[in-house]
Amino acid sequence: MPKVTFIEHNGTEHSVDAEVGKSLMQIALDNLVPGIDADCGGECSCATCHIMVKADWLDKVGSPSDAEDSMLDLNPERETSSRLACQIEVTEIHDGLTVDLPEFQF
């Protein structure tokens, strides 16, 4: 099973097993990783599962869809590596994926 790592704003790391086929948001919730609110439950409609993908993983994670892009735009603290965790489905190629959590969800 791939492993993914969430790094909190304060530096605390959470390396967890990631079930293939689940979203990164669900994996964070399943493993009680703090800092992911997921208010809409994974519908790409609230932007409260905001994460930043580490630069060397951007290619493997891919780009946001138009719908995700619109939601990310709501956040004035958006970065170029920003994604919504609910829109990233984990596959075998994501073993080792590392993402940063923002200080606050918007």
Partner 1 sequence: MSEATVLQMIDHEAKDVPLEDIDVSQRELWVQDRKWDYFARLRDEAPVHFCKDSEFGPYWSVTRFADIMEVEANWQSFSSDPAITIVDPEEDFPLPMFIAMDPPKHDEQRMTVQGSVAPKNLKVMESTIRGRVQTVLDSLPVGESFNWVDKVSIELTTQMLATLFDFPFEDRSKLTRWSDVATGGPETGIVESEEQRQEELLECLAYFTNLWEERAKQGLSNDLISMLAHGEATQNMSPQEYLGNLILLIVGGNDTTRNSMTGGVLALNQNPGEYAKLRNNPTVIPSMVSEIIRWQTPLAHMRRKATKDYVLGGKTIKAGDKVVMWYISGNRDERAIDKPNEFIIDRDRARQHLSFGFGIHRCMGNRLAEMQIKILWEEIQKRFHMVEVVGEPVLVPSNFVHGFTDLQVVLHSH
Binding positions for partner 1, rule: CB under 8 A: 37-41, 43-48, 67, 70-71, 73-77, 103-106
Q: Which is nearer to partner 1, 56 or 77 (by Cβ)?
A: 77
Nearest approach, Cβ of residue 38 and partner 1 (Å): 8
Could you tell me the smallest distance in angstroms from the CB atom of residue 77 to partner 1?
6
Nearest distance in Å: CB 30, partner 1: 14
> Among residues 12 and 104, whose Cβ is nearest to partner 1?
104
Q: Which of 71, 74, 69, 77 is nearest to 103 (CA)?
A: 77
Pick 15 or 70: Cβ nearer partner 1: 70
Which of 57, 61, 60 has the alpha carbon at shortest distance from 85?
Answer: 61
Q: Give the shortest CB-29-to-partner 1 separation in angstroms.
A: 10
Which residue, 47 or 97, is less far from partner 1 as judged by CB?
47
